[in-house]
């Protein structure tokens, strides 16, 4: 199975396993970390340096952690809009499902996603998982 994993926090194999079951570790996984901004103002004035740097770090940490657990994984930094980031990846990676990790607490600008809307748009299952532990 091909899984597109969207996250704004580093994810490890235990978190992936908890979200989709141990068989998920046999998936081909592409991690995309959207370059989310801390506020609408930063988004609108195109102050993207910090958002991009954090997204690069998140995707690399996730790829490293999953790779250490023998998951077939690659990663990329995505657009600031999670739906656009997903769309970009789906152009070259025909995912069977999208797994979106969310975190409790204060959201970053445009961090919230509607799984139903994403399923209608991309015609594949979208599952939400909560970032837990580390």
Range of the domain at 104: 2-130
Question: pLDDT tens across 59-113, in order?
Answer: 999 999 999 999 999 999 988 888 999 999 999 999 999 999 986 654 543 446 7
Question: pLDDT tens across 10-45, in order?
Answer: 999 999 988 887 665 778 999 999 987 554 544 445
Return the pLDDT at 110.
43
Domain count, the chain: 1
Return the pLDDT at 108.
43
Give the per-residue SS3 of the chain.
CEEEEECCCCCCHHHHHHHHCHHHHHCEEEEEEECCECCHHHHHCCCCHHHHHHHHHHHHHHHHHHHHCCCEEEEEEECCCHHHHHHHHHCCCCCCEEEEEECCCCCCECCCCCHHHHHHHHCCCEEEEECCCC
CATH of the domain at 57: 3.40.50.620
């Amino acid at each position: 199975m091909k899984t597109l994993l969207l996250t704004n926090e580093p994810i490890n194999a235990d978190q992936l396993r908890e979200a989709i079951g141990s068989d998920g570790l046999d998936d081909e996984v592409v991690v995309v970390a959207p370059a989310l901004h801390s506020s609408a103002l930063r988004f609108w004035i195109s102050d993207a340096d910090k958002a991009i740097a954090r997204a690069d770090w998140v995707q690399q940490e996730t790829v490293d952690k999953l790779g250490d657990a023998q998951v077939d994984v690659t990663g990329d930094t995505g657009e600031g809009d999670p739906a656009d980031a997903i769309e970009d990846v789906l152009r070259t990676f025909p995912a069977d499902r999208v797994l979106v990790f969310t975190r409790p607490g204060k959201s970053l600008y445009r961090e919230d996603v509607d799984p139903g809307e994403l399923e209608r748009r991309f015609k594949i299952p979208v599952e939400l998982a909560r970032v837990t532990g580390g």
